[in-house]
Structure 1
């Protein structure tokens, strides 16, 4: 079996974390998708080395320490198609653009081996690029399970490479609509704050000096008594970027179970919708622009907020 090698270095903010905990997250950032128990097995097998002569799972890491990890090539996973309703906005021989509903996971992974968007596409006969990994065929970018809206998947390897380059160059148009807690005073603004794993809670992301660059632009669409309706544009695409950035400036998304308050609007998951997606077609170079209406739950909530606003005026 072919072996893969990963070299990872401990950032300053992670100093003092247990090796197995830190390494699990560090390798996930590299798309290894290993569980903590799998990482512990690697450590025990001697597949994790550093300048120290002996490495244990319970070791505390220190800033600047480098680890060399030997990983077996992941066994290929056969994606079994499933029948489910998929809202395909556009499809040709190179790409497929989908309007994903809230609650649907994009691709299989730990805890979600079935019922994902990828399996639904395969079930309807859509062929996806092998690039992206056996768990993520054709997946160039993702949106969270409880975020609705537009995303594009590649059907060929050439399309995958072309789309990946556009995302890397930040030339893809991605606009979102969101409802946040509080009343934003500024009509528009930019949040430029790096994002990385939260050292206090490894299941969350946070604004951190040692994180990766992240830029979000926002514009107020409408203000309500206790909420603000926003249009947001992503310049980068970090995990949970909009959710983290809005919480960071004190206006968390309504319904966000991770970064928002417990008492919020009656909506299942964060009130966030990927409304616009634009990119150059991988084959023709033509600029394509797609839009998706707000899901019913966000429209209902906005209607209720509008009603309360009118009643108060």
Structure 2
């Protein structure tokens, strides 16, 4: 079974080699991207490309991902920086480092939260889809911080309902470009899928209601550290809202961040942390 994915190249990936740029933009390993290129499963503006070709801003990249039968089976793994903050017989709260996926997915060959837990001998509930058993929330691969997961069916049911009812209080810290004015406020703008990029989202009048509250913790010369509280939990919500209001997260080239700032700080992903 195959799945077609697409991505419009943002400014932050322009000029990079195809293998390096797509690895960074899609959260896939360079080895996986190279294999897709060599098998003819990656085209740019309808034409095959080489791994050392350069990406051009605005180009449409399409990838054909083949789902292998056992691709999504969870494997025990040892993950550096992965930690358990709290657990009892029903739930577990973990500290996820950036570079770890919340669960297995097509095209992702890196470490996952369930795999890291298996490596520690911790079993989640069997409630949910096979690759998402016990998963009641997600953090992007490039986002670090706290996640709560279910170890029992009762906890899974109650946590899922709590997230649906928006009774879970989620707080993040983010480093954004520039200085938001006012220094504290609320973004209330609907979010929907990007029409040309499978992996991206955007503020759109026909999107789902999305509300983000923020306050400035500290201002630096070219960036600001913010505390962010989510009222809703849309995919990429923080990244989309701050990009739309011209303060993209530092390091988030997919959503328009200046790559020179991220490079100066040694970042290869957005600076975003789920703090509580």
- With the length of structure 2 as denominator, give the TM-score of the two structures: 0.70
Residue correspondence of structure 1 range 265-276 to structure 2 within 5 A: 265=262, 266=265, 267-276=267-276
Partner of 2:131, secondary structure, is: coil
Number of aligned pairs?
Answer: 206
Aligned counterpart, 1:82: 77
Q: Aligned match of 2:118 in 103, 119, 122? A: 122
Give structure 1 stretches of 5+ with no counterpart.
Answer: 1-19, 23-73, 277-313
Does residue 179 (structure 1) correspond to residue 171 (structure 2)? The answer is no
Does residue 134 (structure 1) correspond to residue 130 (structure 2)? The answer is yes
Aligned counterpart, 2:260: 263
Aligned counterpart, 2:91: 95
Q: Distance in 2 between matches of 1:120 and 1:77?
A: 15
Partner of 2:132, secondary structure, is: coil
Aligned counterpart, 1:57: none
Q: Aligned match of 2:240 in 216, 239, 244? A: 244
1:98 to partner: Cα distance: 0.4
Partner of 2:127, secondary structure, is: coil
Q: Distance in 1 between matches of 2:261 and 2:71?
A: 42
Contact conserved, 2:71 with 2:106, CA < 8 A, in 1? Answer: no
Q: Distance in 2 between matches of 1:76 and 1:229?
A: 38
- With the length of structure 1 as denominator, give the TM-score of the two structures: 0.62
Give structure 2 stretches of 5+ with no counterpart.
Answer: 7-68
Aligned counterpart, 1:105: 101
CA spacing shift, 1:192–1:80, aligned 2, 3 Å:
same
Contact conserved, 2:72 with 2:105, CA < 8 A, in 1? Answer: no
Partner of 2:199, secondary structure, is: strand
Does residue 161 (structure 1) correspond to residue 161 (structure 2)? The answer is no
Aligned counterpart, 1:194: 190
Contact conserved, 1:93 with 1:155, CA < 8 A, in 2? Answer: yes
Q: Distance in 2 between matches of 1:119 and 1:76?
A: 13
Aligned counterpart, 1:216: 212
Q: Distance in 2 between matches of 1:76 and 1:154?
A: 23
139-148 or 222-231: bigger deviation: 222-231
Aligned counterpart, 2:50: none
Q: Distance in 2 between matches of 1:257 and 1:226?
A: 16
Q: Root-mean-square deviation (CA), in Å?
A: 2.0
